[in-house]
Structure 1
């Protein structure tokens, strides 16, 4: 049986919550523990948001309960009417996460047949202790940045291998299908990285932490372009010298493919390749024309592939400048 970190934090926060509520002489101290159990989430930001929303939810619930119990009395009918009013209002104000917890605390008003400031303070203290301990436990999170950097290295190594193989198999047709499989595998790694990046961002309480999410989104778009390039690569049948420049481009990109490469050098080389193709003799047959068009389309897609990284690098520079 494996006990995860979240389970450990939940058990500790619930235990301490009950101890604190009991030591303060609060009524229903175990409720603080239950609130803590329900408030330990996967990230720091979600725990903070959950805590704040539940406090707002309790304030709304207490107001509605005060009206219902004052008019109808402390009975089941009043509690039912309270639910009829509270649930849609909580949903309307996006406080639905606190419906169950707040309603449980409202039952304490019903059981005690009391809505004095003392009992109201008791319920708010239970909520504050429960969500506060949950947030305190969630302040400790494993260092997710190391895992993100490891995923970056794996993904970049996979890109380099695919680009090298594309250069080697350009104008050949017997060994290309496995490259589609590698692109599919690469997509799964990128998707995993995006999920880690979302969790990492949610665990940063202060400042912006969008870099890794932007990075994996950029690589996902590049992987989509790679797949389009492979579909064209399957169809190209020309003389080797017709694709020699593109092969060199792919090889050079594979050699220099890295997080800190802004792609500008490759874009300059692509312009040179365009110029070189313009100087070549025009196709003489329909077949030559169609093949040359395929080569030109492949080059356009490759340019889009590099421009995605160049735009990403430019956007990051602008963010750092501000």
Structure 2
């Protein structure tokens, strides 16, 4: 079954409404109102208002250009050639290129009349008002994207959790059964989420902050770090005591991936891990040295991962819990 989108529905509703209003007003070129409405329907409120303004500027300029050129050179195809030759660069200069198609409707109406009069010019502005006005009114309503963004957020967090858990398994016993499908899936989720967030931002003209925009930007930065961790995890020469501690840390972290911020808890645990790391005797073999180097870099990457989350929003961990963590350590 073919799904009908909101933009299609708005176009289907708005076009006959605009034509009916133009007919009711007694306008001769009433079909043009429907064409203008079709061209004005946009995917977001911001693009709708911008499009309507650009089209109004272009249509007004089209009336001026048409009056001058048609009245001076006559009503024939050469006049249209010269008109478009001058008009299109002018619209580019005025940054109103999206309005060229709409203004062409007005030009052809005036050309088809064979004689431009003040009442005819007035009629064109009524057509413009009806066509663009109906389109703007329909675009005031935009469906909420919160449910879609929430779903993508949940899918993303499940993938993050799975990646961290698989890292812990590999560090602990070099379990290589995982195929890494969550990595490709996460890239797709982030791409889709960014597109939806931009649309949602453009639907809220007076909102400066956008929670989901900041959230997915934060997760995108964390995802880059998770990808950087993968070769460090998979190229560990051997497993030692510190590696097992880090594996346990990754497993605990995999169970705490959520929209809230408890990063401070894990940063405290990470400090303790780093103290244990530095307290260990120096490696005596090349293999042990390479293991320590990989683990040290891994600790640095996971610390950056946690710091990014901690900066994203206010911590959900109360001061009492912070003191409790310190005492336990």
Same fold, TM exceeding 0.5? yes
- The equivalent of 1:205 in structure 2 is 205
Separation in 1, partners of 2:244, 2:263: 20
In 1, Cα distance between equivalents of 2:262 and 2:198: 24
Report the Cα distance in structure 1 between the residues aligned to 2:286 and 2:84, rounded to whole angstroms: 76
Determine if contact 2:161/2:255 at 8 Å carries over to the other structure.
Answer: yes
Q: Is residue 292 from structure 1 mapped to residue 292 from structure 2 by the alignment?
A: yes
- 1:126 paired residue number: 127
Partner residue of 1:159?
160
Q: Residue in 2 aligned with 1:252? A: 252
Does the CA contact (< 8 Å) of 1:171 and 1:238 recur in 2? no
Distance 1:211 1:85 in 2: 46
CA distance in 2, matches of 1:88, 1:267: 58
Q: Tell me which residue corresponds to 2:169.
A: 168
For residues 279 and 76 of structure 1, what CA distance do their matches in structure 2 show?
A: 88
Partner residue in 2 for 1:216? 216
- Counterpart secondary structure, 1:56: helix
Q: Aligned residue for 1:236?
A: 236
Residue in 2 that maps onto 1:275: 275
Instruction: Give the Cα separation in 2 of the matches to 1:18 and 1:239.
Output: 75
The count of aligned residue pairs is 313
Q: List alignment gaps of at least 5 residues for structure 2.
A: 315-329
Deviations 1:26-66 (A, max 9, x none): 22001001111122122222222211110011122222223
SS at match of 1:261: coil
Are the equivalent residues in 2 in contact too, given 1:176–1:234 (CA < 8 A)?
no
| 2:238–2:287 contact (8 Å) kept in structure 1 | no
Matched residue SS, 1:256: coil
> 2:79 aligns to what?
78
SS at match of 2:47: helix
Preserved contact between residue 11 and residue 38 of structure 2 (Cα < 8 Å)? yes
Q: Counterpart of 1:48?
A: 49
1:177-192 equivalences in 2 (<5 Å): 177-178=178-179, 180-192=180-192
Report if aligned partners of 1:14, 1:36 keep a CA contact under 8 Å in 2. Answer: yes
